[in-house]
Amino acid sequence: MANFINYRNINFSIDDKNYYATRVSLSAKASVEAVVLNDGSLLNYAPQGAVIGNLSTEFYLTGSLPSFLRITGTDESSITGNFAGVAITGLYPKSINFSVEPFKPIVINAEFDWYGNVNVHYFKENSQQEIESIQIPDYVANGYKSYMTSADIDTFGYITNFNYSSSCDRPAFFNVNEIVPFRVGKLNKKIDFSLNSNYLGSLISIAGRTATTTITLKDIYGTTLDTFDVSGVLTSQNYEISQGQYLLASANISQTVTENKVLI
């Protein structure tokens, strides 16, 4: 491996598709505890679970979000990534989030769990030929044309920015004598949406306020790249002002995503 690998000379891809990542972070954690005997001496350090890895990345949205990043969907299957020339198998998406602000490009933050082994000592830079062969995207989502629409929160005033996130827990199930899970499930799927505005309408009641919205992400030319639906409850409101500034209000909408169970 080179002494220092340059950001400009590496690729990041998922399922053989390149993503224009502004940041990639890869980590691994072992669950180890000390085994102490009744005489107070240390016997050893013993594993308490499998090595679990974390991959987080930020990338520009250049098209429709791939189906495996629809966190609240039913698909539990793993995917494969490639970072600095090294394959990362057994990737399980668990959260995404993004912000929409006026005139700013939209960056997707995604987080994954992973199991297995990654040959980090094989990290390397791309060749000049590989760098030159990368296809430049035609579109990048931008807050200039993107917007949110809603019928039941039209009492809101001017929306200055908004944020979307979806997440789930990924519990792993192992066979005895194996360190790679045979299944990584999905539990506690939820969507959180927040916004800032000059006005939020009436104050919420004890039951919150039902709120639905559709987010439409477009590029600067008006091409629709993707849409996201939120149907939940507005649970909090906040009004804030500071010296030399205008009064801004913020609100949070939460949605719990459930699945219908089929009894056989």
| Domains of the chain, residue spans | 10-256
Predicted confidence at residue 151, as pLDDT, reads: 62
Q: In this structure, what DSSP letter does residue 243 have?
A: T
Nearest to 165 by CA among 252, 259, 59: 252
Separation CA 124–CA 254 (nearest Å): 42
pLDDT in tens, 104-140: 999 999 999 999 888 888 898 887 777 777 778 888 9
Rounded to two decimals, what is the model's pTM? 0.89
Predicted confidence at residue 199, as pLDDT, reads: 83
**Cross-strand pairs, 126:** none
Predicted confidence at residue 262, as pLDDT, reads: 56
**Cross-strand pairs, 110:** 57, 96
Q: In this structure, what DSSP letter does residue 4 have?
A: S
Q: Are 92 and 184 in contact (CB under 8 A)?
A: yes
Predicted confidence at residue 210, as pLDDT, reads: 87
